[in-house]
Amino acid sequence: MQIGVFPQFMPRKSQNEDAILARISDRSRSSESQAATPSVSLGIGDDAALFQPKPGYETILTCDWFLEKTHFLRKKHPPDAVGWKCLARAISDVAAMGGTPRCFLLSLALPETHTGRWLDLFLGGLRRASRKFQCVLAGGDTTRRNEILINITVVGEVRVGHAVLRSGAREGDLLYVSSRLGEAELGLRTLRQVKGPSGSNNPAMRKHLYPQPRLALGRWLAEKRLATSMIDLSDGLSTDLSRLCKASGVGALIGADDLPCVKQPGARKGRAEFPSPIELALNGGDDYELLFTSRRGVLPAVPWKFRGLPIHPIGHVTSGPNVVLAESGGRLLNLRVLSPGGWDPFRKRR
């Protein structure tokens, strides 16, 4: 049952699948008509969608779960943010390849109680992200469920041979991250303390609710062939850096003092239970910043800022296999082998 069929034969009072599909299709129309998507030759309304990358480009495929209770809370996360984030985080994988998103498929399972206002607000957030990242709804699947389940497949494109993989890091390469780390985790912890559904005036909470995939940076690094490897930070630096190192068959040495951390959250009033900024930077998930490596020789080519976005050198690639954190403990340099300590759904949550 694909999105795109409209109710006709049997007007019913209660919502049926086709009526819901019609609403989804309707609400996404304004983004669909964007001129930026000649690549989708058949969108919503058939058994499947048809897509063609530009000549000389190949297709990027990625999918992501976004599930109530696992990835968001019905009573805490505004439906608009759920709509934005489910697409933005899937698009982040395209950014991490150095590609450009083109279209997406939406699989949505909803309780009947959420097919009205909640769905409208959700689709509003989804459409905003769709417009912002020029990634149009091309199809999907809906069904009824007690819990809200979302799965997003994003389809993008990248010039043949220009995709930046996880596996290209070599000993001696320099390690970089964009912007700041641990901020989204701080936002999540702040959100949990707020009573009732939350607004988003707090910058950390905004980063948690409305992440910004670093598409322009990723694309630029790929086009200029500046990045030898790249990954987006979805599960926390300690976990994702380990993945990049594993894929490349290398290790890494990073400096605690070089990590772009949030300001002392634990120091503020009533926040004594928060992890330290360095812990947030190492193990906090959902930042969707880019982590990449670059040959040492091209150092001057990686700027401190790219279109206003800070880029921080945080260490370098070693022969491996460990990821080591260098912390200054008084006059001594303390070396600590890092374990992946970020988000893992099969481990009990910290």
Specify the residue, 20 or 81, whose C-beta has the smaller distance to a copy of itself.
20
Supply the minimum distance, in Å, between the C-beta of residue 195 and a copy of itself.
Answer: 27
Upper half-sphere CA count for residue 21 (Cβ side, 13 Å): 22
Rounded to the nearest whole angstrom, what is the least distance from the CB of residue 54 to a copy of itself in the complex?
A: 12
Q: Of the two residues 59 and 190, which places its CB atom closer to a copy of itself in the complex? A: 59
- Beta bridge pairs of residue 149: 67, 109
Q: What is the rounded CA–CA span in Å between residue 167 and residue 87?
A: 25
Burial class (CB in 10 A: 0-12, 13-18, 19+), 15: middle
In the complex with a copy of itself, the residue whose CB is nearer, 45 or 197, is 45
Instruction: Output the smallest distance, CB 93 to a copy of itself, in A.
Output: 4
Do β-strands 40-42 and 174-178 pair in parallel, antiparallel, or remain unpaired? unpaired
CB 84 within 8 A of CB 31: no
Q: Which residue has the tokens 């987006």?
A: 232
Q: Are 94 and 154 in contact (CB under 8 A)?
A: yes
Residue type, 254: I
Give the chain's end-to-end CA distance (angstroms, integer). Answer: 39
Three-class SS state of 32: helix
| Closest distance to a copy of itself from the beta carbon of 138 (Å) | 6
Q: Which is nearer to a copy of itself, 62 or 198 (CB)?
A: 62
3-state secondary structure at position 213: coil
Reading the block at residue 98, the tokens are 């150095």
At residue 345, what is the residue type?
P
85 Rama sector, left if φ>0, alpha if ψ -120 to 50, beta otherwise: alpha
State in angstroms the smallest separation of the CB of 271 from a copy of itself.
Answer: 28
CB of 340 to a copy of itself, least distance (A): 6
Measured from the CB atom, the residue of 114 and 127 that comes closer to a copy of itself is: 114
**Burial of 16 (C-beta count, 10 Å sphere; 0-12/13-18/19+):** middle
| Pick 249 or 310: Cβ nearer a copy of itself | 249
Q: Which is nearer to a copy of itself, 149 or 278 (CB)?
A: 149
Question: Which C-beta is closer to a copy of itself: that of 10 or that of 332?
Answer: 10
- Minimum separation from the CB atom of position 245 to a copy of itself (A): 8
Least CB distance to a copy of itself at residue 222 (A): 12
